[in-house]
Amino acid sequence: MQMNVSRRHTTLLALLFTATALCAEAQVGGQAGAVGAPAGAPPAGMATAAVTVAALPGLASTAVSSAERRAQAPSVAVGKDGSIHLVWLDRGALGTADKVGAHEAGGHTHQSWSDVYYSRSDDGGKTFSTPQRVNATDGEVWGFSVSKPSIGIGPRGTVHVTYPANEISDTSGKPVAVMHYVRSTDGGKTFSKPLRLNTNPPEDLSAAVHGGLAQAQAFGTLSVGPEGNVYVAWLDTRVMKTQTAASATFMAVSRDDGKTWEAEREVSGADACPCCQLTSTIGSSGELIVATRVVHEGNHREPMVSVSHDGAKTFSARVGVGGPAWVLDGCPLKPTALAASGKLLHTAVFNGAAQPTGVLYTRSTDGGKTFEQPMTLHPEAAVSDAPAVVARGKNAFVFWHAKLAGGERRVYGRTSTDGGAHFGPVFAVGAATGASSLPTATMLPNGNALVAWQQGEQVVVATVPNTPAAAMSAGKNTPATASPLASPAGNAVVTAMAGPVTLVSAEQFASQLTSHKGELVVLNLWATWCVACLQEIPDLIALSHEFAGRGVTLLAVSMDDPEELARVTAFRDKHFPAFKTLLRSEPSMDTLVSRIDPAWNELLPTTYLIGRDGQVRKRLQGKRSLEAFRKEVNKLL
């Protein structure tokens, strides 16, 4: 996803409700004795092959948001009359920093203030109305790319929007994130006053939620049925009592086009990944389909769907969409994209256990009762993520963003004309230069797809035709496979290199690594707001003190915002004075990290082991203990 200054919050939300570390691990080096990659090149074992991308003649994009403002994370819907409706997060004028809360003693905040903007097209996406703010109060929105606004259009043209909002609890007196709903009955010209859909839980759960919030009702989804029912579901922390607890799924329903709402109710217990945004869609018969990432015993985080045929009064048992079991002691921030057409239910979701790591597609041919074996959508990509899927009849489109070796993030797509049994070649969407990310899509009345995405910090759209040429199949879909786990190793030695915190560009970062050729480098990516990062830093420092002088160097780069140099320096000096760290000067974290790992999946903490020859040997993700670091580095000595 796009890594501008607001990207900080996207990663921090992975730790929003847990102080435990992520435990995903990726083998970078290959077999023992295998040659790794130079520290400025893709690591060995990661996909680096170039991919031939199909061309779509005449595919032109249209800018929707202002080039003078920082737009992020669009959502799109289409009305029965073919009108196109877009909402997105607006984070202020171009060049301004995010509006965030004060940092806690632990060094992080989950408070954020932004806005939701809206625009409409009545000519198939050729032109759009002047963007206008949806929320009533400036900065009302608690918005992130992984907790973005949702939009739906009713059968009578009513525009429905939900978004997470900032409020002060009238019981605890502390900041909370809540679910707000607004609607427009005049085609998007004006919007109603915001309605809070959740009740105000009285408990102060600051100790569990952290980051300045006492409660959070967020990460929601909205769908509108053909009869005018409006369904809004969200993840709710009121059931959480500890930092490691999961969230419950709550829902509110309107049966009169948003005029009045039934009382919220809990539709599933405390078993949902607390910051993997819910998704939903409406089936051909009006059924409501909801996707949740469920946390099973042992931290297996499985994308699952359930179906309601009675207007959300009851739901079927949840069914997993398939794919390798992804075990992760932390929240991956990965929603499941959904689209329904007849008995066909299409899903696309990121899977960290797949090989290669990235987006998997699968479908159900019986309305969500069972799912076929998943396929990898973009096997040539170093990393793929953030999928969107739409379908009508036998036509299906899947979009995602991905990075090829050495390149920037870009939006890609594939199409199917046989209900997802086969897919055509990968094609690129959007500008050939400049990062593009976070696609969202909707079906147009003519059977084409309208895809919107974030190009830099601007929202743009394009119409993608589903032609036989674009959807031509080369064979059956390729199944996904599980990635191997890394093996343990022996003792480690790290030398301490305390010094001032300085800004580092991508070029300077590569030069720093080159200067340490001949040493074994332990490179740690961290941030002051990352709880798991802070928990493992003392162990890294202990290693450096215990084994100083053995030719092993500890380096670190903070992923905090560049303008926070003074605060990061003060934080480091107070809590970890022996911890040598740099601070990225690039607005995008990905620009810097790509120098060492084009397939970085944006999780913190991440630690790389770089051999004496300057070759990347291994990537470790999630909090590691002193003993674990010793074992991993010793293997390379």
Assign residue 294 the CATH number of its domain.
Answer: 2.120.10.10
> In this predicted model, what pLDDT tens digit does every residue of 114-166 receive, in sequence order?
999 999 999 999 999 999 999 999 999 998 888 899 999 999 999 999 999 99
Instruction: Identify whether residues 19 and 66 lie together within a single domain.
Output: no
Give the start-end residues of each E strand in 507-629: 520-526, 552-558, 582-584, 606-610, 615-621
Would you state the pLDDT for residue 397?
A: 97
Would you state the pLDDT for residue 308?
A: 97
Residue 354 predicted with pLDDT over 50: yes
Instruction: Identify whether residues 473 and 494 lie together within a single domain.
Output: no
Residue 345 lies in a domain: yes
Residue 472 tokens read as 């031509």
- Could you give the CA distance from residue 19 to residue 25 in angstroms, rounded to a whole number? 18
Number of neighbouring beta carbons within 10 Å of residue 321: 26
> In this predicted model, what pLDDT tens digit does every residue of 371-409 receive, in sequence order?
999 999 999 898 899 999 999 999 999 999 998 877 789
Cα angle at 164 between 157 and 313, to 5 degrees?
65
Residue 54 lies in a domain: no
Task: Out of 455, 482, 509, pick the residue that ends a domain.
Answer: 482
Would you state the pLDDT for residue 411?
A: 94
Range of the domain at 500: 7-46+487-634
Instruction: Identify whether residues 284 and 139 lie together within a single domain.
Output: yes
Identity (one letter) of the amino acid at 359? Answer: V
CATH of the domain at 39: 3.40.30.10
Instruction: Identify whether residues 41 and 79 lie together within a single domain.
Output: no
The residues pairing with 72 across neighbouring beta strands, listed in sequence order, are 89
Best-predicted range by mean pLDDT (34-48, 53-67, 331-345, 517-531): 331-345
Would you state the pLDDT for residue 392?
A: 94
Instruction: Identify whether residues 436 and 506 lie together within a single domain.
Output: no
Would you state the pLDDT for residue 252?
A: 98
Residue 52 lies in a domain: no
Instruction: Identify whether residues 413 and 504 lie together within a single domain.
Output: no
> In this predicted model, what pLDDT tens digit does every residue of 476-496 receive, in sequence order?
444 444 433 222 222 233 333
Nearest to 161 by CA among 120, 247, 221: 221
Residue 241 predicted with pLDDT over 80: no
Instruction: Identify whether residues 40 and 65 lie together within a single domain.
Output: no
Would you state the pLDDT for residue 17?
A: 32
- Could you give the CA distance from residue 194 to residue 175 in angstroms, rounded to a whole number? 17
Residue 327 tokens read as 């075990």
Instruction: Identify whether residues 322 and 228 lie together within a single domain.
Output: yes
Residue 2 lies in a domain: no
Instruction: Identify whether residues 540 and 475 lie together within a single domain.
Output: no
Identity (one letter) of the amino acid at 324? Answer: P
Task: Out of 422, 456, 482, pick the residue that ends a domain.
Answer: 482
Q: What is the residue whose two structure tokens read 């992804």? A: 326
Residue 320 lies in a domain: yes
Instruction: Identify whether residues 18 and 114 lie together within a single domain.
Output: no
- Could you give the CA distance from residue 281 to residue 440 in angstroms, rounded to a whole number? 14
The pTM of the full predicted model, rounded to 2 decimals, is 0.74
Q: For the chain, what is the mean pLDDT?
A: 82
Task: Out of 459, 482, 505, pick the residue that ends a domain.
Answer: 482
Instruction: Identify whether residues 298 and 372 lie together within a single domain.
Output: yes
Instruction: Identify whether residues 35 and 101 lie together within a single domain.
Output: no
> In this predicted model, what pLDDT tens digit does every residue of 30-75 receive, in sequence order?
222 222 333 333 333 322 223 344 545 557 789 999 999 999 999 9
In a 3-state reduction of DSSP, which class is residue 570?
Answer: helix
Residue 1 lies in a domain: no
Nearest to 274 by CA among 327, 320, 332: 332
Residue 41 lies in a domain: yes
What DSSP designation does 15 have? G
Would you state the pLDDT for residue 300?
A: 92
Q: For strand 150-153 and strand 159-168, is the pairing parallel, antiparallel, or unpaired?
A: antiparallel
- Could you give the CA distance from residue 49 to residue 379 in angstroms, rounded to a whole number? 10
Where do runs of H (alpha helix) occur along 238-354? Answer: none
Residue 56 lies in a domain: no
The structural domain count of the chain equals 2
pLDDT (average), residues 201-219: 81
